[in-house]
Structure 1
């Protein structure tokens, strides 16, 4: 069942519609719990599109195993997805900075308010994001320290490699996830892959996690694979940031999620004109590389990667 949850008029007799697909179990008595899968808040983050497709396909193939309501919202920012832009085109707005919105406000505020109204009350919400076009991220879930007691056990079911608990001071109150969590609807923020691309293996990994989460909620009776044991980081000092000391072309030497020792070379920043190596980017600590530069052109100060320190990675 496909429904329009919010719509506004656009110029030239067009209408912007935000839609969801609701998948209902065969037996009406099984409709007590609800999980909502949300993606496309940023139009240049496409990893969640595949997750929505694969989740729908697998549920339909074993519909008799469904014991709850699954709501799928694949395109929260359809104009952004159509134009492959992060924000809402023509408004120069990041949609993830306008929640909880205002039903009586302007177009974007009204959309945000209606979206939140429709999703609020879900037993769990999974808000799926990708990285930008510059960086590749391993499948991870990011959580505000304010809500870690409720959210970390849910995140551990999601088959991700890493759970990153952020300080409360770094969480913007105008985000979709903050607005839901602060009003009692548990919302996990998943991030994986790279902008403007689909990484199928990461999508399949997260889909398995969603089925595990549904199983733990009593919403799925079909077969599930065992979830990976995620590394949980709750200290900002656990993560080491790597930045470029010079502008040039970054050529990586290592792969994503690779264990490194202090002094190992991660890559080089080179100058194609002179043939010079401008910087050997080395690991400052023992740890695991969970973010790596995907777009090769860098400026001085550009983020090259993030390392999870060994003390945490070995837990």
Structure 2
């Protein structure tokens, strides 16, 4: 059942409405609830496909579902409609205003209503894509302060990589941070490319979500085997940035093992054809982020490498 959980008036007699699709199982009610959230950034569309796939399967198999799955396909519907990262007109990143307040601006009131509606769920899965510049392998990002509690659930989702961030790098104004600090366990998923749908990644995460539901005792239907993720742990993450302006042409694949000094790609001057930079790996490890948009300037992020030996 689709319900409006937050709304606000706009100009010319229009309204912004944030909707939730609540799917209630016909199996024995175990009192559990899982929330699947996406569309906080309007140019991140991978989660749209995941929501559609999950809603389709659950709706056709209600007898195999115990408890409740809440799907929030677009927390920023204006951004999704206009394919902009933030809330249009306000130039505001919605994932920087949580937990919001009922006495605040329109965006802050919407944020407060979202927090109120999700709070109390057993698990919330907050799905994001990368931007148009970078491609990310399916990964889960966790604040180190919540790692002990969240890591067992994160491993159930079948993503390739779990990145545990230091608390100093985590923004306190995000949906995930706000929910985690108030007791609602929330996992942040990043995958794919902005403004695109990578079906392989979406299906991988969809299978992982059904695996999570199975482990929570909420799903009695079929599930697929999920991957065992690599956990960052003490492994260093190295950032590779361009040292020149031009177009970046990669010569490696995404999510591959490399050795220190290996050739990653070239930065070329499109006007002269001159090689501006021969980009090499600063360490051995595995590439989990790779430049997708070719135009680069000095300092542009080209890749992230998770250090370590994965062939051992």
Q: TM-score, normalised by structure 1?
A: 0.97
Once the two structures are TM-superposed, the CA of residue 106 in structure 1 deviates from its matched residue by 1.5
Map 1:59-70 to 2 at 5 A.
59-70=58-69
Contact in 2 for aligned 1:290/1:306 (Cα 8 Å): yes
Counterpart of 1:259 (choices 254, 257, 271) is 257
Once the two structures are TM-superposed, the CA of residue 68 in structure 1 deviates from its matched residue by 1.6
Once the two structures are TM-superposed, the CA of residue 258 in structure 1 deviates from its matched residue by 1.1
> What CA distance in whole angstroms lies between the structure 1 residues aligned with 2:311 and 2:108?
44
Contact in 1 for aligned 2:30/2:218 (Cα 8 Å): no
1:9-49 deviation digits (Å, cap 9, x = unpaired):
1010001100010000114x415000000000001111100
Map 1:4-19 to 2 at 5 A.
4-19=4-19
| Corresponding position of 2:143 | 144
The answer as to 2:149 corresponding to 1:164 is no
1:84-141 deviation digits (Å, cap 9, x = unpaired):
1111111111100100100121111100000000000000000000001000000000
Once the two structures are TM-superposed, the CA of residue 293 in structure 1 deviates from its matched residue by 0.2
> What CA distance in whole angstroms lies between the structure 1 residues aligned with 2:31 and 2:215?
15
Secondary structure of the corresponding residue to residue 6 of structure 2:
strand
| Corresponding position of 1:190 | 189
Unaligned runs of 5+ in 1: none
1:57-93 deviation digits (Å, cap 9, x = unpaired):
1112322211120000000000001111111111111
| Corresponding position of 1:79 | 78
| Corresponding position of 1:281 | 279
| Corresponding position of 1:271 | 269
| Aligned residues between the structures | 312
Instruction: Identify which range, 279-288 or 179-188, moves more after superposition.
Output: 279-288
Contact in 2 for aligned 1:101/1:110 (Cα 8 Å): yes
Q: TM-score, normalised by structure 2?
A: 0.98
Deviation >6 Å, runs of 4+? none
Counterpart of 2:291 (choices 282, 293, 297) is 293
> What CA distance in whole angstroms lies between the structure 2 residues aligned with 1:63 and 1:81?
29
| Corresponding position of 2:107 | 108
Contact in 2 for aligned 1:127/1:187 (Cα 8 Å): yes
> What CA distance in whole angstroms lies between the structure 2 residues aligned with 1:286 and 1:196?
31
The answer as to 2:40 corresponding to 1:41 is yes
Contact in 2 for aligned 1:25/1:31 (Cα 8 Å): no
The answer as to 2:186 corresponding to 1:204 is no
Unaligned runs of 5+ in 2: none
| Corresponding position of 1:2 | 2
